[in-house]
A and B are shown apart, each in its own frame.
Chain A
């Protein structure tokens, strides 16, 4: 084997075993624990920071997601990477006593903050909490009418695997909604957004949450996340049909939707 071929093979093996953690290239096995440490560290301040960093607009993005979900009384919903449970809270009210919402997250700290918050709001009847990795969902095939993953997919190590796993647990006729940062439509918005994310956001993180690194990761991970069209074709590859997306706030965020038939 020539040294060139050897190099090539080595690179391939590296590509297979590595992934992005923000702008850094890291071992796939390491990414899980690195993401975990980010969310363990931000869990307590997560909600305050979310409001602060997005000027409260994340609430409207989430409302948009609920409006697009077509949720009905009696539905079974999975709020994947659900963190502190904003979507779970709304879904819990909209599926009623006959329905069920499962808040699933890989991170115990985020789940605990979510559980406490929802209990304080008196939302107890139809919510279950499950610690789970999106890549290996511990649910039967064809369980859910709706699966949502909001600002979660970009943190998942193997996104294709997660999409296939979600597809498996959806009922036929069920739908997936992916709410995630994306690529702004206009160059000007893109520039302003870049400036905000890399210069201001980590500073707010440092000042308020005393954790600039986590918010630097946040900004980098957003840039590394697949753009609208790429994510749409990833969903198609995983088996989803009638896939579509809607840009929100000029494409800073996009809501992707796909069905399992």
Chain B
């Protein structure tokens, strides 16, 4: 998808479509969260934290803030703890073998700020497992629900995959690019070093004991 049509972008502020979109997202996400009993702990980690997502096609940021286990969707970019800049196109093209770091290097995706916040949000999105079919049918009837569910399965697939990628690749990014996290091989290396020091200490101890023994024999 290219950017939204120019006339639409122009008229969006007048019709306040941005606010309509934020409002709809807020309702859907909070509904999903209210059905998910496991999300509260994750939400507590994110109290008053904000993730901003800037999608090139949209022309305005979507900011997700957490307050008292609820999600608020605004355009308040100044309060963002972490900002992801990318495009719907990139998210669509996201292939299994493509990594976050690659996209960053190709300038297709940029992460600014505290990447842990993005990870928390991504894992929260993963836990939102809801029976849309039943929930929607209650409101809009079976036929409409069937059509919507088919469509949203397609979208959900994309989102699930994107959040998986963000989760998996964020840790890789932390390790290689920012060198913030200790890797398994670094731990092994450290363990080996500790073992070596241990052995050396034992040797020194033996040596000292020997010296003491020698001294005792002489006196």
Binding site for B on A (CB under 8 A): 57, 59-61, 63-64, 66-67, 69-73, 90, 93-94, 96-98, 122, 246-250
Contact = CB atoms under 8 A, between A and B. Distances in A.
25 contacts: A57-B16, A60-B20, A63-B16, A63-B22, A63-B23, A66-B74, A67-B18, A67-B19, A67-B22, A67-B76, A70-B76, A71-B76, A71-B79, A72-B76, A72-B78, A73-B48, A90-B72, A93-B65, A93-B70, A93-B72, A94-B74, A94-B79, A96-B47, A96-B48, A247-B14
Nearest to B72: A93
A69 B78 CA distance: 10
B109 to A, nearest CB: 25
Contacts of B16: 57, 60-61, 63-64, 248-249
Contacts of B65: 93-94
Contacts of A93: 65, 67-68, 70, 72
- If over half of A's interface residues share one DSSP class (helix, strand or loop), that class is named, otherwise mixed; here it is helix
Interface string B54-89: 000000000001011010101110110000000000
A190 to B, nearest CB: 16
Nearest to B81: A73
Contact of B79 (A73, A247, A249): A73
Contacts of A249: 14, 16
A81 B138 CA distance: 39
Given A93-B72, A250-B14, A63 B19 contact: yes
Contact of B67 (A69, A94, A246): A94
Contacts of A72: 76, 78-79
A94 B74 CA distance: 10
A246 B13 CA distance: 10
A78 to B, nearest CB: 18
Return the 5 tightest CB-CB contacts between A and B, nearest first: A93-B67, A96-B48, A63-B19, A67-B75, A60-B19
A90 B68 CA distance: 12
Contacts, number: 58
Interface of B: 13-14, 16, 18-20, 22-23, 47-48, 65, 67-68, 70, 72, 74-76, 78-79
A249 B19 CA distance: 13
Contacts of A96: 47-48, 67
Contacts of A247: 14
A127 to B, nearest CB: 13
B23 A59 contact: yes
A247 B13 CA distance: 9
A87 B76 CA distance: 15
Given A71-B79, A72-B79, 9 more contacts: A60-B19, A63-B19, A64-B16, A66-B74, A67-B74, A70-B78, A93-B67, A96-B47, A248-B14
B32 to A, nearest CB: 18
B110 to A, nearest CB: 22
Interface hub of A63, A69, A246 (most chain B Cβ within 10 A): A63
B46 to A, nearest CB: 12
Contacts of B19: 60, 63-64, 67
A258 B70 CA distance: 31
Contacts of B79: 70-73, 94
Nearest to A65: B19
Contacts of A71: 76, 79
A189 to B, nearest CB: 11
Nearest to B75: A67
Contacts of A90: 72
Contacts of B67: 93-94, 96
